[in-house]
Structure 1
Amino acid sequence: MKSDAVKSDVIAEVEYTADVVSYAKASAGVDEAVDLVAGHADDLPLEPGEARRIRNKIDWMILPLLFSLYFLQFMDKGTLGASAVLGIITDNNLTAQDFNTLGSAFYIGYLAFSYPHSWALQRFPVAKYLAANIFLWALLMGLHCVCHSFGGLFALRFFLGGSEGCITNSVMLITSMFYTRTEIGERISWTFQCNGFALIVSGFLAFGVSHSDPSKKPSRWQLLMIVYTGLTVIIGTLFLLFFPDSPVRARSLTKDEKVKAVIRIQSNQSGTETKIWKRGQFIEALQDVKTWLFFFFAAVSTLQNGFAIQYGLIIQSFGFTTVQTTALNIPAGVAEIVGVTLSTIILRQYPNTRCWIAVGFFLPSVLAVILLMTLPWTNNVGLLCAYYVLNFGGAPSWAIVLSWVAVTTSGHTKKLTVNAIFFVGYSLGFILCTQFWKAAYKPRNYVPWGICLASYFGDFALLFAIRYALNKENKRRDALQVFQAHDEYGYLENVDSEGEVVRQKINKGMLDMTDRENLAFRYAL
């Protein structure tokens, strides 16, 4: 009876998939790399040495700019936390609640622009759209210097969050165009390491600025904003000039290298890019259970991140001076780099262990929060070390899950929709987490730390649920394949100059099929 049920599922799945492939052949919305790789369907796999050469060239073309972008973005996000001990609160007559709300304002903007960014990333060249947003956030960062009130700062933080809201979505999209699944996890983690470097550099910058004369203009926090504005303009210019929109449009690659770059990632079964928005894929994303599991993870996980905005005030509350506080955040960056590096090494050795890696690296954060709540308040060195452990644990887990989202969805519209929903959860969590750090809870902050601790257990439950759902679907597809082999190739019909119909054999991933439609797709665990 069980065998008959599986066979019945096979018939339904095969009929559904056949309809999808027929639609793809008749549709203009196939992958933009189809014409590039036409006639190369049998070239898989590439010779390992040549595949490495192509990957290395792509790395040198993409990673330095991605690293600089993420480095800069995290420094920009951290300016509010650094400015808290450099005079922005007194110069703008901010209350503790005002400061918390400014932290939320950034993520309200992030939330408001999540879907518009996904819409635009499908219609416009990715690199050009990114560059435009980088120049916009440089302008907004510079305008902070002329603010003297809460209202002005709120508006700027809102639009700053809006302009920066496309960055992580773009990183996920770009890495999926150029890299294999394991490589995506590694490179997103490497990119995330730049948060640690940003903490180190911003710590040194804040330390240097803290030695300027506070009685002179620009004030110390304004000087910090000016430095970041200049750096942002430089990075925006480099992106505009050198960053590729996709493998098809990469000027640094020859035509043969472009073909090989696309062929190299076809095992992902997710294609590169399609510029046509598909309503069916949008609806499928809304109906997919993993979309909402990732959404809830993003929302719950970011409830812990209020300390990323409060860090200057937290360290200072341990009994350190302003100058000491600016320097003491530097080791937090080192801890983050070490944690992300270690998680990347583990992922390379054990590619299908994303759930276990994320859970494992959340455990030090759980310990850190318990220590921050229980250590004697006079033990400022112990409290500071617990804060460093907190930075060691959380960042690797977040980077791993970010790469997990990127590799478990296929279909360009669906992928962008899932990313947008994920970042809606991310934004909601950040909007809420900044509100927990009230003046009434200081200096021990038992309530916000308690909320952090509870959210970690929510993370564990969601991570296990995601892995269970994906693993169950993989096993179902494996069982179906026993009765019906699934061809990894489809055919695209075109009419040549003489009016003859020509059938091109192409990988199904190039048909812009979703992970549900393409039964050859397997979910990374």
Structure 2
Amino acid sequence: MSSREENIDSKDNVMVSISSPSTGRQAKPDGDVDDAMEYAIRNKTENPKYDKSRDAKLLRKIDFFLMPIICCLYAIQFMDKLTNSLASILGLRTELRMHGNMYSWTGSAFYLGYMVFEFPAVRFLQSFPVSKTLSVFIVLWGVVLCLHSIPNYAGFVALRTILGILESSITPGLVIITSQYYRGANPDAGAKEKSKYKDEIFLRTAWWFASTGFGIIVGSAIAYAIVVHQDSYSIQAWKLIFIVTGVITIFVGLVFLVHVPDKPTKAWFLTEEEKKLVVERIRVNQQGFGNKKFKIYQFKEALLDLRTWLFFLAALSISLPTGGLTNFGSILLAEGFGYSLKKTMLMQMPVGAVNICGCVIFAWLHRFVESRMFWATFGNAVTFAAQCMLAFGKTNQIMFAGYIVQSLGPIAFICLLANISSNVTGHTKKVTVNAILLVGYCVGNLIGPQTFLDSEAPNYKTAKACIVAFGLLNLLLFVLIWLSYLWDNRKKNRAYAEAGEIDMFENYEFADLTDKENPLFRYKI
């Protein structure tokens, strides 16, 4: 049982006091509750009768206004990472006199900055308006990318580190925005309810993460055009790549600033009625828009949650292979497979196409077998097989096929991000788990380029062995995460059955309760 006390003073300030059913912890009127609860109380929203047509129309409207700019941003982010690999075969290494493992450190430096700044980045996102904060980071990273065209080696590494710092906010920011507008499926709903409440978060996360494929295609096309016409430019080709992508990034950052609202209740493209409907439609998530107050108990819960560290290890094992191939993919194609400069640029494009189609198709298949963990684990198995082809293939054709198909690896990372969006509640806990996952992502990406030893060029046997080993580890970790969700849901169901019906306070979905302390919360599997 829990208590609820609500008062509205003469200045219309909402006062809410609630206690968690599992911990008895009081949610006080000093910012403990989620922004969505304050809105729900002020506007006296109530769960309206479900209208399939109206709900579908609202969902299409949200998709129309948000998904294109979010997908564009994520494509630009990956294109910016790819510029380092493309520039490496266009004169970057020669111009900056790189030898030994000096080039490897240009890749690792990016993720070193990313890792060091990840916790400050998520605190910025929690403390300040999400979209405005992201926009500032995007514009600054575009400026820094342009500056890559002017330094010596030491300056270049320093700029790569700063670039990592600035990009560290993007993924956690988009995870927050996705959970503000879209629903996860209700795991306890009956068949009729499940037909209404599809898992929107998994598919939308797949859309924007799969946009990295567009980044690969567009980045490769830009590099190819520069190579074809390089005699027409007064600036070296590798420098021009950084300038072009930097200018594009600055433009996207400015568009993001004026286009994307900080939360649904401030969305310029929604009517007042639609804003209320957005609040009501995400009740099924049992979380709201966000809470600016840092809650130490949620931080501790995140650190003591075993799944947090499974996420960390899974992110590391996913990103170690991709981190190495992102930075050395062009070198592997040009020097290992013997492709010409122009052909190397073009042969990156199939990787982008597989990334786009594969990730979205796997997420779409979730509509038929409603288990994101099933599809992520299956995608991991396919990726692992492709990694074995790349590492142990006897011909260039087999190895290239493996190189292309292994780009399905992001399916697993999409699942991790979707799990944080919908399966980690309590805003402080969510941003903490998000940060820890991305630190694992950084560690893997930092180590990945170091496995490509200069002395083993052009075959890079150590790197290929690491790709296979960590691919297998990732597959096993996802099985453990899946089992942990099943175990915890059964444990919650037993506790609920023993306690009988639990009387929750009004708008408890927006009380900023964690997934552990909310007895009615079930994990989406």
Fold equivalence (TM over 0.5): yes
Spell out structure 1 runs of 4+ moving beyond 6 A. none
Q: 1:194 to 1:488 in 2, by over 3 A?
A: farther
Match of 1:178 among 172, 181, 188: 181
Q: Distance in 2 between matches of 1:343 and 1:168?
A: 20
Report the counterpart of residue 385 of structure 1 in structure 2: 401
* SS of 2:230 mapped into structure 1: coil
Q: 1:22 to 1:323 in 2, by over 3 A?
A: closer
Per-residue CA deviation, residues 192-222 of structure 1 (Å, 9 max, x unaligned), is 1211111111111111111233695310011
> How do 1:474-493 residues align onto structure 2 when only pairs under 5 Å count?
474-485=489-500, 487=502, 489-490=504-505
**Runs (5+) with no aligned partner, structure 2:** 1-17, 185-198
Report the counterpart of residue 359 of structure 1 in structure 2: 377
Q: How many residues align?
A: 491
Give the aligned CA root-mean-square deviation in angstroms. 1.9
Q: 1:80 to 1:214 in 2, by over 3 A?
A: farther
What is the CA-CA distance between 1:58 and the residue it aligns to?
Answer: 1.3
Whether 1:252 aligns to 2:269 is: yes
Match of 1:264 among 281, 300, 314: 281
Which amino acid in 2 is paired with 1:255?
E
Whether 1:144 aligns to 2:148 is: yes
Report the counterpart of residue 167 of structure 1 in structure 2: 170
> How do 1:230-379 residues align onto structure 2 when only pairs under 5 Å count?
230-305=247-322, 306-317=324-335, 318-351=337-370, 353-376=371-394, 379=395
| Percent of residue pairs bearing the same amino acid type | 30
What is the CA-CA distance between 1:369 and the residue it aligns to?
Answer: 2.5
Report the counterpart of residue 500 of structure 1 in structure 2: none
Counterpart contact for 1:34–1:510, Cα < 8 Å: yes
Counterpart contact for 2:217–2:352, Cα < 8 Å: yes
Q: 1:263 to 1:410 in 2, by over 3 A?
A: same
Per-residue CA deviation, residues 319-353 of structure 1 (Å, 9 max, x unaligned), is 111111111111111111121122111222223x2
TM-score, normalised relative to structure 2: 0.90
Q: 1:371 to 1:19 in 2, by over 3 A?
A: closer
Q: 1:45 to 1:283 in 2, by over 3 A?
A: farther
Larger mean CA deviation between 61-70 and 360-369 belongs to 360-369
Which amino acid in 2 is paired with 1:99?
Y
What is the CA-CA distance between 1:375 and the residue it aligns to?
Answer: 2.9
TM-score, normalised relative to structure 1: 0.90
Q: Distance in 2 between matches of 1:359 and 1:226?
A: 39
Counterpart contact for 2:224–2:342, Cα < 8 Å: yes
> How do 1:196-215 residues align onto structure 2 when only pairs under 5 Å count?
196-213=213-230
Q: 1:249 to 1:78 in 2, by over 3 A?
A: same
Counterpart contact for 2:79–2:215, Cα < 8 Å: yes
What is the CA-CA distance between 1:224 and the residue it aligns to?
Answer: 1.1
Counterpart contact for 2:31–2:292, Cα < 8 Å: no
Report the counterpart of residue 61 of structure 2 in structure 1: 57
Q: Distance in 2 between matches of 1:46 and 1:487?
A: 24
Report the counterpart of residue 86 of structure 1 in structure 2: 90
Which amino acid in 2 is paired with 1:309?
N
Per-residue CA deviation, residues 384-438 of structure 1 (Å, 9 max, x unaligned), is 22211222x3122222222122221100111001101111111111111110001
Whether 1:99 aligns to 2:103 is: yes
Report the counterpart of residue 496 of structure 1 in structure 2: none
Q: 1:374 to 1:513 in 2, by over 3 A?
A: closer
Per-residue CA deviation, residues 102-131 of structure 1 (Å, 9 max, x unaligned), is 100000011011000111111100000000
Which amino acid in 2 is paired with 1:101?
W
Larger mean CA deviation between 156-165 and 285-294 belongs to 285-294
Report the counterpart of residue 9 of structure 1 in structure 2: none
What is the CA-CA distance between 1:21 and the residue it aligns to?
Answer: 6.0
Q: Distance in 1 between matches of 2:216 and 2:519?
A: 43
What is the CA-CA distance between 1:94 and the residue it aligns to?
Answer: 1.2
Match of 1:425 among 425, 440, 446: 440
Per-residue CA deviation, residues 71-107 of structure 1 (Å, 9 max, x unaligned), is 1001001100010111111111112411100100000
Whether 1:154 aligns to 2:157 is: yes
Which amino acid in 2 is paired with 1:517?
E
**Runs (5+) with no aligned partner, structure 1:** 1-14, 491-504
Counterpart contact for 1:488–1:520, Cα < 8 Å: no
Match of 1:218 among 235, 257, 270: 235
Whether 1:37 aligns to 2:40 is: yes
